[in-house]
C-alpha cells in the first residue's frame, strides 16, 4: 500500500500519515503482519489483505481544522492511495535498460550502518516515469529486490487499468477504474462523518474509524461488489 500527500501542503502530508496509521491498526486488528517499507509505503502480509483493501485505491479527502490553523478555518486536503498485490514471481518483464537506479542513506533509528551506508534504493522506470523506493531492508541488494517487486506490481496495475478502461463497458460489476485520480471518500471531522462516494453511504464516529475501525466500510464495499452492482466513482 502506497500513500501520497495530494493537495493541501503540510496538512495533506499529515493526513497521509493519519491514513497510514489507520490501515496499520486495521491490519493489526485482523492479525495481519505489517511492515513500513519507506515512509508512506506499507507491506501488509496476509492471503486476505489484497481482497479486503483493493478498493481503497483512489483519492481520499479530509475536511478539518488543522492544528496549525489559528483562525479556525476548515481546510480541505487530499491523499492518494494505491494498493498493489506483490507476487512471488511477477508476470511483468522489465528491460534493465529502462530502469534508472539511485542509492541513498537510510534515515531513521536503526543499526550502526544507518546514515553511514547507502542501502536505500530508488528505481525510476524511464518509459512511464514511475518511481519506487525501498529503505527497510538491511542491505542495498535486498532493497533493490524489494523495489523491483514494487515496480513490477505498479507496472502490472498500470497494464490492468489500461485493459479495464478499454473494456469497462463489458464489465457488469466495477468500482470505478481503480485510478488514483478518482475521489472515493471524504473524511469530515466537523460533522464526525466519513462518506464513501461510490456507495453513497456515510458512517459516523471518526475517532474510531481513524483508529482502524474500518470493518464496516470494507465489508460494505466487498458486499456491493459481490452483489454485482455497478458503483460509479465521482471524480
> DSSP characters for 208-219?
HHHTT--HHHHH
Cell numbers 465489508: residue: 219
Cell numbers 533493490: residue: 144
pLDDT at 86: 79
CATH code for the domain defined by 99-166: 3.30.160.20
Indicate whether 164 pLDDT > 90: no
Confidence of residue 103 (pLDDT cuts 50, 70, 90): confident
Tell which CATH architecture fits domain 2-83+170-226: 2-Layer Sandwich (3.30)
The DSSP code for 96 is G
CA dihedral sign of residues 121, 122, 126, 131: positive
Q: Find how far residue 45's CA is from the centre of its chain.
A: 14
Confidence of residue 228 (pLDDT cuts 50, 70, 90): low
CA distance 102 to 45: 27
Output the CA angle 74-76-78, nearest 5 degrees. 150
Q: What is the mean pLDDT of the chain?
A: 83
Percent of the chain with pLDDT over 90: 46
Indicate whether 163 pLDDT > 70: no
**Predicted TM-score of the model (pTM):** 0.70
Confidence of residue 197 (pLDDT cuts 50, 70, 90): very high
Indicate whether 45 pLDDT > 70: yes
Q: Taking the domains of the chain in order of start, what are their residue ranges?
A: 2-83+170-226, 99-166
Indicate whether 90 pLDDT > 50: yes
pLDDT at 159: 81
Cell numbers 464526525: residue: 192
Are 25 and 48 in contact by the 8 Å Cβ rule? The answer is no
Amino acid at each position: 500500500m502506497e500513500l501520497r500527500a495530494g493537495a493541501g501542503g503540510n496538512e495533506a502530508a499529515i493526513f497521509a500519515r493519519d491514513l497510514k496509521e489507520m490501515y496499520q491498526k486495521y491490519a493489526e486488528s485482523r492479525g495481519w503482519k505489517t511492515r513500513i517499507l519507506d515512509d508512506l509505503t506499507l507491506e501488509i502480509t496476509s492471503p486476505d489483505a489484497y481482497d479486503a483493501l483493493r478498493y481503497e485505491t483512489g483519492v481520499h479527502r479530509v475536511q478539518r481544522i488543522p492544528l496549525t490553523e489559528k483562525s479556525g478555518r476548515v481546510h480541505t486536503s487530499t491523499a492518494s492511495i494505491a494498493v498493489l498485490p506483490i507476487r512471488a514471481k511477477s508476470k511483468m518483464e522489465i528491460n534493465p535498460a529502462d530502469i534508472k537506479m539511485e542509492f541513498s542513506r537510510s534515515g531513521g533509528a536503526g543499526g550502526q550502518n544507518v546514515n553511514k551506508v547507502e542501502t536505500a534504493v530508488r528505481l525510476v522506470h524511464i518509459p512511464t516515469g514511475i518511481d519506487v523506493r525501498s529503505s527497510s531492508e538491511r542491505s542495498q541488494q535486498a532493497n533493490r529486490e524489494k523495489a523491483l517487486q514494487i515496480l513490477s506490481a505498479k507496472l502490472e496495475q498500470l497494464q490492468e487499468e489500461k485493459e479495464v478502461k478499454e473494456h469497462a463497458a463489458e464489465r457488469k460489476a466495477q468500482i470505478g477504474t481503480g485510478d488514483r485520480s478518482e475521489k472515493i471518500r471524504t473524511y469530515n471531522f466537523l460533522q464526525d462523518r466519513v462518506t464513501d462516494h461510490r456507495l453513497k453511504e456515510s458512517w459516523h464516529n471518526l475517532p474510531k474509524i481513524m483508529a482502524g475501525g474500518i470493518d464496516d466500510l470494507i465489508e460494505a464495499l466487498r458486499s456491493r461488489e459481490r452483489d454485482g452492482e455497478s458503483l460509479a466513482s465521482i471524480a
